[in-house]
Amino acid sequence: EAQVTQNPRYLITVTGKKLTVTCSQNMNHEYMSWYRQDPGLGLRQIYYSMNVEVTDKGDVPEGYKVSRKEKRNFPLILESPSPNQTSLYFCASSLLPSSGANVLTFGAGSRLTVL
């Protein structure tokens, strides 16, 4: 089944404790992206990647890191989480958007709480 898998789905952590949210897709998509969703603000892009070893900042990259060492994986790293990073996170992938086929497939979401 074609899918985007992200883990963990739920996580409660404390301020400053590094964490990684994994994302993996099995559709051979070049494009991958991380979003956070907060009430009243909609989906905001954190980072995206056009291909292996190519990553770019989205609209709200502060406090986050990503890597794209393999085409299928795009982990989101919070080096020192803070309470304002409490949010619902989605990973998504697609063929290259500029190809005109930019239909995003989303993972099921990761709900992160930072105390």
List contacts with other proteins (CB under 8 A): 31, 35, 40-45, 48, 50, 88, 90, 96-98, 100, 102-104, 106-109, 111
- Cβ proximity to other proteins: between 48 and 74 the closer is 48
User: Left if phi > 0, otherwise alpha if psi is -120 to 50, otherwise beta: which for 28?
Assistant: left
- Residue with the two structure tokens 């739920």: 10
Tell the smallest beta-carbon distance from residue 69 to other proteins (Å).
20
- Cβ proximity to other proteins: between 61 and 109 the closer is 109
Tell the smallest beta-carbon distance from residue 79 to other proteins (Å).
25
Tell the smallest beta-carbon distance from residue 103 to other proteins (Å).
5
- Cβ proximity to other proteins: between 1 and 98 the closer is 98
Contact 72, 107 (CB under 8 A): no
- Cβ proximity to other proteins: between 51 and 80 the closer is 51
Tell the smallest beta-carbon distance from residue 98 to other proteins (Å).
5
